Amino acid sequence: MDITPCRAKWKGTMTDRERFNNQMHYRTFDRTVNMEFGYWEENYKEWPLFAENGITSEWQANRFFNFDPIAGIGGNVWLSPPFPAAVVSETATTKTLMNGDGLLAEVPRDGHSTIPHYTKASVVTPGDWKRCKEERLRRDDPARRVDIAGLKAAHPESRTYPLGVGCGSMIGKIRDMLTFEGLAYACYDYPDMVEDMVETSCVLVEDFLDQVLPHFTFDFASGWEDICFKNGPIVSLDFYTRVVVPRYKRIGRKLHRAGITLWYTDCDGDVRPLIPGFLEAGINCLFPFEVMGGGHPAALLNEFGRDLRIMGGFDKTQMIKGREAIKAYMESLVPLVERGGYIPFCDHRCPPDVTPGNYLYYLDLKERMFGL
């Protein structure tokens, strides 16, 4: 499908790749990187701006708004094959699904986006894990081989956009498999099993990195965890420090040897207790930095100085309040953009109750303040 942008691309004197690297490494840049986190399914259905132009996905929205391109290469670093997806049961208002992580999840029958209510996990005991590991987590699975030639053709060294390498998840995907409660119980009842799960995650990421790092000059690394609520992490700091951080360090050493000096992880909620471990291991950028969990991004950037970067951090609730609130919050980000190591965009997916008019005002204002 051809997408006709509704806005002109921001003017610039650098390539998108040069700009990204300069901005995130405290060097001179022409304007801020123009990017956004994304949208919910309701946005695509309810915003006339999207519905009338056939916009139904994030990549289409990125093209529609003419955001700066950014790309990534990820690997098959978890369940292969995943558990078979199936509808297990239905009521008048809900459906119970088996998802790819082996969870039974209750979701609205009408299909609107919401956090699923998980009712049962396929992996609970060490015996379940042993069977799952043997069937779905084999290192020698041919599906884990990377098509280097195809990726090099898709992302040549002459590219003008930033390219990242995916570093998977050390604990977030385990949480997905066990559920929040299941992970909490397992850390207490079966600590050796949980550590073996983290080790398995790490080894599969290492295998993937060994395949791709020699062949590309990556501009950044990325990871995903989502292991925090608004009041802090869902795992104990002892477990995180003793089990998770050493695996981050192993990955960090591979990235460092490959010359990658920017590594962000996507983790919602209040990540502040995790930051010392992140930095110790080489994770030096937070994404998308939810303000309701971590406060205004200036506080952490001032506390940690140039050791820490942030991508995101525009409080999405201000978009709901209206233009005066949007403008006031945007103005509070000016010193952060000017110092570098910070890219402003919405601190999660844009809520569907933000009006399209307010969202377009937000995009226009961002260009006026941080563009050329």
Kindly report the number of other CB atoms within 10 A of residue 188's CB atom. 11
Handedness of CA 320, 323, 326, 332 (dihedral sign): negative
Percent of residues, the chain, with pLDDT higher than 90: 87
pLDDT, tens digit, 9 for 90 and up, residues 136-190: 999 999 999 999 999 999 999 999 999 999 999 999 999 989 988 899 999 999 9
The answer to whether residue 114 scores a pLDDT higher than 90 is: no
Q: CA–CA separation, 92 vs 147, rounded Å?
A: 45
User: 294 pLDDT exceeds 90?
Assistant: no
Does the pLDDT of residue 339 top 90, yes or no?
Answer: yes
Q: For residue 103, list its beta bridge partners.
A: 121
In CATH terms, the fold of domain 16-81+122-370 is: TIM Barrel (3.20.20)
DSSP 134: H
A 10 A CB-CB count for 100 gives: 15
Tokens 């997806």 locate to: 85
Domain ranges of the chain: 16-81+122-370, 84-121
Specify the pLDDT at position 1. 72
pLDDT band at 115 (very low <50, low <70, confident <90, very high): low
- State whether residue 281 is helix, strand or coil: helix
Q: How confident is residue 268, by pLDDT bands cut at 50, 70 and 90? A: confident
Mean pLDDT score of the chain: 95
pLDDT digits (tens, 9 = 90+) for 191-237: 999 999 999 999 999 999 999 999 999 999 999 998 888 888 989 99
Full-prediction pTM beyond 0.85? yes
Q: Which residues lie closer than 8 Å to 302 by C-beta, 6 or more apart?
A: none
Give the integer Cα–Cα distance in Å for 212 and 193: 29
Per-residue confidence (pLDDT) for residue 172, from 0 to 100 = 93
